[in-house]
Structures are given as structure tokens and as C-alpha cells.
Amino acid sequence: MDPMSGATEPKWQKDAADQNFDYMFKLLIIGNSSVGKTSFLFRYADDSFTSAFVSTVGIDFKVKTVFRHEKRVKLQIWDTAGQERYRTITTAYYRGAMGFILMYDITNEESFNSVQDWVTQIKTYSWDNAQVILVGNKCDMEDERVISFERGKQLAEQLGIEFFETSAKENINVKAVFERLVDIICDRMSESLDSDANNILSGQKGTRLTEGQGPQGAHNPNCNC
């Protein structure tokens, strides 16, 4: 019996159907297979943990409403499969995401080395102003650590993003990551509103967005769509 999906069903339905919120943010958790993306999400959304490894099939998501800065923020958190074979499906969800949690496993060098590849994936498939946080998971497994905190920190600085070490198992920093990401997106929101004041006023622009149009697509003279 899979403990992960059992009791959660009514909970998400309650959360998902809840229309009492101000903002809706879509977040995406990405990273190599088995770094703990699903566990991380389950810890945050349901406060549950299981050490059994069950690979995510393609994609999954959970909904959680948080209260931050006197605003109710509904988070739709997408959990993606790290495996290459689902890449076509997962990348399709990059474009809707406002924030990314890029995760590696501190006991796994390979997953750390792939961070740059994931950043490229984000740059390629997401909207330009999506926010990213780098997360080194499994920091409870100090004995098996191969990536020092400093290395993670350094890489994050190099990439110009924020960095956390977390443990889904011990519930270390899990909430902090999401809260920080929500804060960053909120900051970005007020910035973008102030800088795009004219666009908003014109309003017309809004209606031009349809599915299948990307960030620059509408203005690209080279594009035949």
C-alpha cells in the first residue's frame, strides 16, 4: 500500500476547491531523479514522510494555501519526474511556472553536477521572469555528504539565485524554502507592476495572450504564428 497517496485525497480537494485566496502561484520542483522532490513536496503539503523510493510518473501536483504578508496565496506545486524519459511531459509545464525549486542531493555528486543543465532547461522553457531557488536536500545524511554547504552556496551565487539546504525527512528548512520563494515572487510582482505601469494601463495587451504564445512570441517578427 502506498502511504503517499492514501489519506491525502480529501485534503487536496478541500484545498484545491478553496476559492478564498488572493494570489495563485504555480511552482515547479525539478532536479535529478531520487534527489527527494516528491518527499519534499509531501513534507510541505501533508507533513508526511516515507523513505521508500517511488519514482514519480511524469508529473503530479499538490495545492496548498498559505498566508503570507496578509495575503492568502494559493500554491499549485508541481512535482516532476526527474527521469529523462518523462522530459517531454515535464518541460511542457515549465512555461506556466512562476517559481522553480531546483533540487539536488547533497549525498550525490551527479545530481549536483546536473544543476547547470537544469538551469539551462529553465532558461529555455520557462517564462523569462520565473524565479529559482537552489535546494540541497537530504542534509540530515551528514555522514554521506559529498557536496559541502559552501559548494552549494557558491554555485547559487554564481547563478544569482538563493540557496537552502533542507531535509524532507527531518523537516529542516522545507517551509522556509517555499516561504522564501513566495516572497521572491511577491517582490518580483510589485517590481514588475511598477515597471510595466503603462502596459497595465493600456490593458489591451492582456487579451493578446493566448495559449501557445510565449514570452516574446507575440512580438517576434520571425515567427510565423
Return the residues of window 185-204 that contact another protein according to CB under 8 A. Answer: 189-204
- Using CB under 8 A, which of 27, 42, 75, 108 touches another protein? 108
Q: Footprint of another protein on residues 163-182 (CB under 8 A)?
A: none
CA-nearest of 188, 183, 191 to 67 is 183
User: Is the Cα dihedral 106, 104, 81, 72 positive or negative?
Assistant: positive
Pick between residue 31 and residue 164 the one whose CB is nearest to another protein. 31
Which one, 104 or 164, has the nearer CB to another protein? 104
Q: Could you tell me if 16 and 63 are in contact, meaning their C-beta atoms sit under 8 angstroms apart?
A: yes
Pairing type for strands 99-105 and 71-80 reads unpaired
Question: DSSP state, 219?
Answer: G
139 binds another protein (CB under 8 A): no
Alpha carbon distance 64, 115 (integer Å): 27
Residue whose C-alpha is closest to residue 162's, from 190, 139, 134: 134
Pick from 6, 7, 14, 24 the residue near another protein by CB under 8 A: 24
CB of 163 to another protein, least distance (A): 17
Site for another protein (CB under 8 A): which residue of 3, 47, 67, 120?
A: 120
Question: Of the candidates 4, 33, 77, 139, which one interacts with another protein according to CB under 8 A?
Answer: 33
> Taking a C-beta distance cutoff of 8 angstroms, is the pair 134, 162 a contact?
yes
Binders in 42-61 for another protein, by CB under 8 A: 51-55, 57-61
Q: Choose which of 10, 19, 69, 150 interacts with another protein (CB under 8 A).
A: 19
Question: What are the backbone angles phi and psi of residue 99, rounded to the nearest 5°?
Answer: -140, 150
Judged by CB under 8 A, how many residues of this single chain contact another protein?
89
The reply to whether 124 sits near another protein by the rule CB under 8 A is yes
